[in-house]
A = this chain, B = another copy of it.
Amino acid sequence: MRVTINDIAKAANVSPATVSRAIADSPRISKATKKKIFKIMEEMNYYPNVIARSLARKSTNIIGILVMGTTEKAFQHPFFPEILRGVASVAYKNKYKILISSVTNMDEQREIVDDLTQSGITDGILLLSSGVKDPSITYLKEIQFPFVVVGRPDNENEVNWVDNDNISVGYKMTQHLIEMGCTEIAFLGVDRKFIVTLDRLKGYKMALQDNNIALNEDLIVEGKFVDDTGYELMKNLMEKGIVPSGVIACDDLLAFGVIKYLNEKGLKVPDDVAVAGFNNVPLSSYFTPPLTSVDINAFSLGAKGFELLMACMKSEYKSFNRAIIPTQLIIRESTLKK
């Protein structure tokens, strides 16, 4: 069968304990012994069994990523792999492995969280969520399991989290459109379940106020955040007789739908209507016209999220940390009115 630490010990004429310590690079083992052991490990093609190690150490060096999609669309959004890549990048450097788990519907959440936490398979988990009143967050706090939320939760002072400053993001974008001469700016895709959209909306309102533009509630359109219903949302708006001079969609995917509808109606973007999105998906720059957006730096969200998690796993839950990842307004043709 496979070669174990005992085989190495026998071959090296030492005890298994010594081999174990050599592998852990314990200072209690002499250079000479280590060298001998490593040589034999190499020769015998030995790999430590991480399961056995995990059992003994009571820690697995595995973290779980929980995608709190109320819908499977969450998985499909381009920023998901980017976050994942960010996490993977720093996790790999720190010898951590990543277990992903799909959450399909809300009923399964509790079960999946239990599966990840109580079974002892993960040392900590990263929650991809920006949902309002997320029950998993409450539960994780309750069982005192190390976790970090990617996306600011509503009880922001009681958990570790990392996010963009979405209020500022909304503000910046609105400010930009105002500077481009837009006065009637529609805000599309507010989903009251997602804090991120609410925050961006808040920023939007603040910018209007700072520019002495009256808020018109009719211009604020609710919709599913990550579903691609921009086309319908815009259609509904215009069929009410409202033709804004600028549109901010809560996500680029929504914005694409908006532009599609405007095109069909013969309205020019940006000259008739300026359109902007958020999240800067890879295709925004290839769209016609290239879409103004905000880069949220999803890679960093993931990377920083993992760093916080590591800290959290070590520090036995003393204080709560947060991190704000800077964003970048990417101005492209879709808002550049002549």
Residues of A that sit less than 8 Å from B by CB: 2, 47-52, 54-55, 60, 62, 72, 75-78, 80-82, 84-85, 88-89, 92, 97-102, 104, 114, 118-121, 228, 231, 253, 256-257, 259-260, 263, 281-283, 286-288
Contact = CB atoms under 8 A, between A and B. Distances in A.
Given A99-B99, A257-B286, 16 more contacts: A2-B120, A49-B120, A50-B120, A50-B121, A51-B51, A51-B60, A51-B121, A52-B120, A75-B84, A89-B102, A98-B100, A99-B100, A228-B286, A231-B286, A253-B282, A288-B288
A101 B76 contact: no
A102 B76 contact: no
Contact of A263 (B102, B104, B256, B288): B288
A2 B78 CA distance: 39
A114 to B, nearest CB: 7
A55 B92 CA distance: 24
Nearest to A55: B51
A47 B99 contact: no
A161 B2 CA distance: 27
A314 to B, nearest CB: 19
A76 B282 contact: yes
A83 B55 CA distance: 32
Contacts of A288: 259-260, 263, 287-288
A243 to B, nearest CB: 20
Contacts of A77: 81
A49 B52 CA distance: 12
A119 B49 contact: yes
Contact of A118 (B47, B281, B283): B47
Contacts of A100: 84, 88, 98-100
A84 B48 CA distance: 29
A278 B302 CA distance: 29
A259 B283 CA distance: 12
Given A81-B81, A98-B101, A260-B286, A120 B51 contact: yes
Contact of A48 (B51, B101, B119): B119
Lowest 8 A-B CB distances belong to which pairs? A47-B118, A88-B102, A256-B286, A50-B119, A49-B120, A75-B85, A51-B54, A75-B81
Contacts of A114: 47
Contact of A283 (B2, B52, B60, B256): B256
A283 to B, nearest CB: 5
A283 B283 CA distance: 8
Contacts of A89: 102, 104
Nearest to A64: B97
A84 B72 CA distance: 11
